[in-house]
């Protein structure tokens, strides 16, 4: 996955709010460790191309991140939040805390996989799920109906 369009999309989201656009900074709340290191690695190029400084705020989980956002509701610090789909889908219902995604401003929207963009969030990764079982303990079903 090319992460550059993702950060550019984040920049578009911030630009949708004139107060954020004038600050020339974006604060992204993201998980620590690998995610934070990845963000740091691509932030330099993003900053050079857009002039928008990227600040990272870490969270240990999406649930913890949501609580931070709710506490800061009246004085928001975070512009873009990385979360799991379950937490993001439920949290997006809070229209006083989140804004709609301006799809017409996402230059790469046609390159996203089906289902990766909703009114309130954009999926940034996906992973397969499977079923593992012991064939000695569980009979093999004649077919799977997915």
Concatenate the DSSP letters of all residues of 83-114 into one string: --HHHHHHHTT-TTT-----GGG-TTGGGSPT
Look at residue 42 and tell me if it is in a domain: yes
pLDDT, tens digit, 9 for 90 and up, residues 29-87: 999 989 999 999 899 899 999 899 999 999 999 999 999 999 999 999 999 999 988 88
CATH number reported for the structural domain that contains residue 14 in this entry: 3.40.190
User: Can you give the pLDDT at residue 146?
Assistant: 61
Helices 3-15 and 34-50 pack at an angle, to 10 degrees, of: 70
User: Can you give the pLDDT at residue 19?
Assistant: 52
> Is-contact 30 55, C-beta < 8 A?
no
User: Can you give the pLDDT at residue 21?
Assistant: 53
- Host domain of residue 90: 3-111
Which of 8-12, 37-41, 81-85, 110-114 shows the lowest per-residue confidence on average (mean pLDDT)? Answer: 8-12
Total structural domains in the chain? Answer: 1
């Amino acid at each position: 996955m090319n992460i550059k369009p993702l950060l550019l999309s984040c920049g578009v989201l911030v630009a949708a709010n004139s107060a954020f656009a004038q600050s020339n900074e974006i604060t992204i709340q993201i998980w620590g460790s690998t995610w934070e290191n990845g963000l740091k690695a691509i932030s330099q190029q993003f900053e050079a191309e857009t002039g928008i400084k990227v600040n990272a705020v870490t969270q240990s989980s999406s649930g913890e991140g949501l609580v931070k956002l709710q506490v800061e509701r009246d004085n928001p610090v975070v512009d873009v939040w990385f979360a799991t789909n379950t937490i993001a889908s439920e949290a997006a219902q809070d229209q006083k805390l989140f804004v709609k995604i301006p799809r017409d401003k996402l230059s790469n929207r046609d390159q996203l996989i089906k289902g990766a963009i909703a009114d309130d969030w954009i999926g940034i990764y996906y992973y397969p799920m499977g079923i593992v079982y012991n064939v000695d303990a569980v009979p093999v079903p004649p077919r799977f109906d997915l």
